[in-house]
């Protein structure tokens, strides 16, 4: 059985969105493999099996054929062969039920590998239950939770299997609307499913969860088919590098679990990587803090500051309570959700420019604010 969680998606169309939970899922542990910034990756395709192997020299043996990835559009066949061995299916069984999802092998050493997935995939197995990871060859191994961050909807799993292929990590700040992408995962438990599309939009504010425990995503939107069970899987670019962690889809009704309607959302890998690396290093993660409490009853354009947190960045910068945030680093802020999503996209310690309308018709003013830090859980 595959379940989904309801999400809130901020858009003029007021579409209802839902997490792609393959119920309860977990991932593995590994070291992120990166590729060179060049526009072309060379690989060797085995003439008998079709398996791909990276070529550092640009040459292949007589039993393999040289393939260029990223040279002219998207070679979906070559990229699929290259990436699918690094994307796993995750199965969770607990007292809350069972389900399947997806994950990507992020780091691997001689004895242990790390897998990234969504928190909503594995959260029901945090206290009880079992998590298993299945590879493309059908092998299954037990997984444990290294750490998780509900605020970013990310989690890291570890497995006692070493020297595994790891997914190459891209740069989500370099992607553009219209770029071709592939979504790879296990929708409805169907392992190694590949769908194609484009990046439809960037910086979509998506939220889910209950009051006080919301997840906020400054999402990449794609029309590549994403369905329940794709949660935690990879959104990859023309070079087979992960640029997003697939997390959510939009639906047309609030109560039903539906399939893809061409509105899928992924956590940008640049935002996810900081959280993932912190979890692997310490078992925990942090979030940036502006140091304000927003007025949730405010109905105007912008995010109204109800009060300040003593000693935090906003107070130190001199922003007064009652101010209405209009933009952050040039990005228009239409409400408090957009403000929170934008703030969460930064690392703690980042200095940002916040433009506000001052209270009592005090005009508009720009402030430089250094974000503080707080534990995510």
* All domains of the chain in start order, with CATH: 1-284 (2.40.10.120), 287-375 (2.30.42.10)
Concerning whether 357 is annotated as a catalytic residue, the answer is no
For the question of residue 153 being annotated catalytic, the response is yes
**Rounded distance between C-alpha atoms, residue 250 and residue 13, angstroms:** 11
Using alpha carbons, select from 211, 202, 217 the residue that is nearest to residue 275.
217
pLDDT at residue 287, rounded to an integer: 94
What dihedral do alpha carbons 129, 266, 154, 306 form, nearest 10°? -120
- 65: exposed, middle or buried (C-beta count within 10 Å: 0-12, 13-18, 19+)? middle
Residue 13, both tokens: 């169309």
Nearest-angstrom CA–CA distance, 192 and 223:
18
pTM of the full structure: 0.80
Burial class (CB in 10 A: 0-12, 13-18, 19+), 165: buried
Q: Compute the distance between CA of residue 256 and CA of residue 73 in angstroms, rounded to an integer.
A: 36
Q: Where are the alpha helices (DSSP H) in 15-84?
A: 76-83
- Please give the pLDDT value at position 307: 96
Instruction: List phi, psi (to 5°) of 37.
Output: -75, 0
CB 157 within 8 Å of CB 131: yes
Residue by residue, pLDDT tens for the chain (377 residues) are 343 343 444 443 333 333 333 322 222 222 233 333 445 667 777 766 656 677 778 788 888 777 766 555 678 888 998 899 999 999 999 887 788 899 999 999 999 999 999 999 999 899 888 999 999 999 999 999 999 999 999 999 999 999 999 999 999 999 999 999 999 999 888 888 999 999 999 999 888 665 666 788 899 999 999 988 999 999 999 989 999 999 988 877 655 556 778 889 999 999 999 999 999 999 999 999 999 999 999 999 999 999 999 999 999 999 999 999 999 999 999 999 999 999 999 999 999 999 999 998 889 999 999 999 999 87
Predicted local distance difference test score (pLDDT) of residue 47: 65
- As a whole number of Å, the end-to-end CA separation of the chain is 29
In terms of residues, how long is the chain? Answer: 377
Phi, psi at 285, each rounded to 5°: -140, 165
pLDDT computed for residue 48 by the predictor: 63
Q: Which of 108, 120, 172, 357 is catalytic?
A: 120
Least Cα distance to 199 among 240, 255, 237, 242 occurs for 237
Residue-by-residue DSSP string for 108-164: E-SS-EEEEE-HHHHGGGSSS-EEEEE-TTS-EEEEEEEEEETTTTEEEEEES--S-
Give the whole-angstrom CA distance, residue 366 versus residue 132.
50
Residue 237 confidence (pLDDT): 95
* Tokens at 33, concatenated: 């493999």
Q: Exactly one of 153, 223, 237, 335 is catalytic; which is it?
A: 153
Distance CA 189, CA 1 (A): 9
Catalytic residue status for 231: yes
| H-helix or E-strand spanning residue 337 | helix 336-344
* Residue pair 213/244 in contact by the 8 Å Cβ criterion: no
pLDDT at site 96? 78
Q: Are 204 and 267 in contact (CB under 8 A)?
A: no
Neighbours of 174 (CB within 10 A): 11
Closest CA to 32 of 144, 95, 107: 107
Nearest to 106 by CA among 294, 287, 280, 320: 280
Rounded-to-integer distance, Cα 28 and Cα 21, Å: 17
132-154: buried (b, 16+ CB within 10 Å) or exposed (e) per residue? bbbbeeeeeeebebbbbbbbbbb
């Amino acid at each position: 059985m595959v379940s989904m969680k309801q999400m809130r998606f901020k858009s003029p169309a007021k579409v209802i969105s839902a997490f792609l939970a393959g119920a309860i899922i977990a991932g593995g542990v590994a070291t992120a493999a990166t590729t060179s910034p060049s526009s072309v990756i060379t690989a060797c395709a085995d003439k008998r099996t079709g398996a791909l192997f990276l070529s550092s020299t640009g040459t292949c043996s007589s039993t393999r054929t040289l393939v260029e990835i990223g040279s002219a559009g998207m070679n979906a066949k070559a990229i699929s062969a290259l990436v699918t061995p690094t994307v796993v299916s995750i199965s969770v069984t607990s007292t809350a039920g069972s389900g399947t999802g997806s994950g990507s092998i992020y780091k691997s050493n001689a004895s242990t590998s790390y897998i990234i997935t969504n928190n909503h995939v594995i959260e029901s197995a945090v206290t009880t239950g079992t998590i298993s990871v299945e590879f493309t060859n059908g092998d299954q191994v037990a997984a444990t939770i290294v750490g998780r961050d509900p605020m970013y909807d990310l989690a890291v799993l570890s497995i006692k299997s070493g020297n595994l292929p790891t997914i190459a990590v891209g740069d989500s700040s370099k992607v553009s609307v219209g770029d071709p992408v592939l979504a790879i995962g296990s929708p409805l438990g169907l392992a190694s499913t590949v769908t194609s599309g484009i990046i439809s939009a960037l910086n979509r504010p998506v939220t889910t969860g209950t009051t006080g425990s919301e997840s906020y995503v400054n999402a990449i939107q794609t029309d590549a088919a994403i369905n329940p069970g794709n949660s935690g899987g990879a959104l990859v670019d023309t070079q087979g590098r992960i640029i997003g962690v697939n997390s959510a889809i939009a639906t047309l009704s609030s109560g039903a679990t539906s399939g893809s309607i061409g509105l899928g959302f992924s956590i940008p890998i640049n935002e996810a990587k900081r959280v993932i690396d912190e979890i692997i290093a310490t078992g925990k993660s942090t979030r940036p803090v502006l140091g304000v409490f927003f007025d949730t009853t405010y109905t105007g354009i912008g995010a109204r500051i109800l009060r300040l947190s003593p000693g935090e960045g906003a107070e130190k910068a001199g922003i007064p309570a009652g101010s209405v945030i209009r933009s952050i680093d040039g990005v228009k802020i239409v409400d408090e959700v957009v403000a929170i999503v934008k703030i969460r996209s930064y690392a703690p310690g980042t200095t940002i420019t916040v433009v506000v309308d001052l209270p009592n018709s005090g005009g508009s003013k720009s402030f430089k604010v250094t974000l503080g830090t707080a534990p995510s859980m």
